[in-house]
Amino acid sequence: MIKKTILIFILLMTYLGAKSVEVDYKATFGIFGKVGSIYNKVTTTKRHYRIDTTVKLSGLAKLLLGGQKEHYTSKGHLEHGLMVSDVYTMETIKGSSRKLKTYHIDHKKHRVVKHYQKWKEGKLIRDTTTTLDFYAKNDLLTLYFNMDRAIKQKGKVYTMKAVGLEKQKGIVEVTVPNESQTAPYKKDLGKSANWYAKALIVQKNFKKNKGDILLSVSEDGFIQKAVIKDIVMYGDAKLIRTK
C-alpha cells in the first residue's frame, strides 16, 4: 500500500520551461511520517525534452519495502510548447530483483507498445511485449508537467489520458475550480496558490476505489503541495516541495 502511494506522488508535477531544472519533494503518510523523497530533473532543448525522476524511500517505508528503489524516465519532443512522450520507462529494483517497463508511443499509428522485463539474481525470467488498448500523447510524468499550459480555463473538468495507467484505460479527470469553489482546497493546501486542481484516479488502496489528489500550483508553474485524500486506514498522504 505504501509503495502504491509513493508511486502516485510521481504524478504530482507541472510544466516547466527552463533548459535544466531540478525540483524536489518530500512525501509524508499519516502515522508513518516521512516515507520518501522525490527528485526530478527536466532538461529541454528547442525540440526535445527528458524527465528523470528518482524515488528514495525512508523511515518505515524503506524498512517494509527492503530498500526498494524507483526510477522513471520520459523522453520525447515538443509540440506547441507541450511535452509529447515518445518513450516512457518505469524501473524498480529491490534486492536481487529488477523490473523494467518500457512504453514506446507510435504517434503516426496511434498505438502504444509495452515491453515488460523482470530479472532475478541477474537472470532474465520474464520478457513480454503487448500493445495497449488505448493511445495517449502523455505519460505519467508529462501529464502533470504539461498541466500548467494544458489548463486554459478555471471552473472546468478536463479529461486527459496518460500512458502508465492501464487499469483505468489511461483516463484521468482533472477538476480546476473557479475562485468561489476553492475553499475546500485552501483548507488542505493553504491560501497562497496561484491556482488549484483535483485529479481523480482509481486505486485499490483508496476508499471506494477512488482517490482525489488535491494540488496547489505556485506562480512558477510547479506543484507546491499535494494531498491524497481518504487512504484506507491511514488517512491523508502529503507531498511538499522542498526545492
Range with lowest mean pLDDT among 98-112, 130-144, 147-161, 209-223: 209-223
Q: Phi/psi of residue 134, each to 5°?
A: -150, 160
Phi-psi region of 140 (alpha: psi -120 to 50; beta: other; left: phi over 0): alpha
pLDDT, tens only, 46-98: 899 999 988 877 665 555 555 678 899 999 999 988 999 999 999 999 888 99
Q: Phi/psi of residue 13, each to 5°?
A: -135, 165
pTM: 0.79
Domain boundaries, the chain: 2-241
Whether 144 and 123 have beta carbons less than 8 Å apart is answered as no
Which helix (H) or strand (E) segment is 231 a member of?
strand 223-231
Which helix (H) or strand (E) segment is 196 a member of?
strand 195-202
